[in-house]
């Protein structure tokens, strides 16, 4: 099956968000990746609930919302209500496995898919208790916070561990420094969903860039 390509609008033109989302849609994007940052969990502030709500009105594509925030359990419901279709939070943002499991259950109680993500320094073993209940694991291949950073190949090794220990239908997503070359490294290890921001939105030809990730 082809990879799920999820362009990150962090690298789009925020003054022309509708245009840039529609062009990704026209040229074969599968999801739209929305990076939510709070200035606490990561040293950057980006998009919040009202923007997600507005984007929902202008695209038919599923919204793949990546929460890089503290207290994801407090903010999950507003993002679900705003129209998130896939809601991913960070393992590091909660205190214990019990809170994590409760949040997964809460996200999945509607028709939203639940994703859990780990930062570069977090070992993939910590996700073992959750691999049968999440819909997606997001392996960060850069330190979360900014677009346009260099792919960390040592993080890609984690993909295989997750793949070998998870049910067949688990979606394995990578995010950070993904281009046509780094995508191949990740898919060969088992990733099947690719987030790309600068590679898609800073390219001269969005159509070719998306096609090269499929």
User: Active-site residue numbers?
Assistant: 35, 175
Which is closer to Zn ion, CB of 80 or CB of 178? 178
**DSSP 8-state code for residue 9:** G
The site partner of 10 among Zn ion, ligand DX5, none (C-beta below 5 to 8 Å per kind) is: ligand DX5
Residue 66 is a binding residue for ligand DX5 (CB under 6 A): yes
Sheet holding 136-140, edge to edge: 4-7, 193-196, 171-175, 136-140, 113-118, 86-90, 63-68, 32-37
Among 175, 192, 196, 199, the residue binding Zn ion under the rule CB under 5 A is 175
Interface with Zn ion in residues 24-63 (CB under 5 A): 35
Cα gap 97→87, rounded to integer Å? 18
Please enumerate in sequence order all residues whose Cβ is within 8 A of that of 147, keeping only pairs 6 or more positions apart, or say none: 8, 10, 11, 35, 197, 198
Using the contact rule CB under 6 A, the part of the chain among 19-27, 55-63, 104-112, 171-179 near ligand DX5 is: 171-179
Verify binding: residue 175, ligand DX5, rule CB under 6 A. Answer: yes
Judged by the rule CB under 6 A, the positions of this chain that interact with ligand DX5 are: 8, 10-11, 33, 35, 66, 142, 144-145, 147-149, 175-178, 195-199
């Amino acid at each position: 099956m082809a990879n799920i390509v999820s362009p990150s609008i962090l690298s789009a033109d925020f003054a022309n968000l509708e245009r840039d989302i529609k062009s990704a849609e026209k040229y074969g994007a599968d999801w739209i990746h929305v990076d939510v940052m709070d200035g606490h969990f990561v040293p950057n502030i980006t998009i919040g609930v009202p923007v997600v709500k507005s984007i929902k009105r202008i695209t038919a594509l599923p919204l793949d919302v990546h929460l890089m925030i503290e207290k994801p359990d407090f903010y999950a419901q507003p993002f679900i209500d705003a129209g998130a279709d896939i809601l991913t939070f960070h393992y590091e943002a909660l205190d214990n496995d019990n809170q994590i499991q409760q949040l997964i259950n809460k996200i999945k109680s509607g028709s939203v898919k639940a994703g859990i993500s780990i930062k570069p320094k977090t070992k993939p073993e910590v996700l073992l208790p959750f691999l049968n209940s999440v819909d997606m694991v997001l392996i960060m291949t850069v330190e979360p916070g900014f677009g346009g950073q260099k792919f960390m190949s040592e993080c890609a090794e984690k993909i295989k561990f997750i793949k070998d220990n998870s049910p067949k239908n688990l979606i394995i997503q990578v995010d950070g420094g993904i281009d046509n070359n780094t995508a191949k490294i990740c898919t060969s290890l088992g990733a099947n969903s690719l987030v790309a921001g600068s590679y898609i939105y800073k390219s001269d030809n969005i159509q070719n860039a998306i096609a090269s990730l499929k």
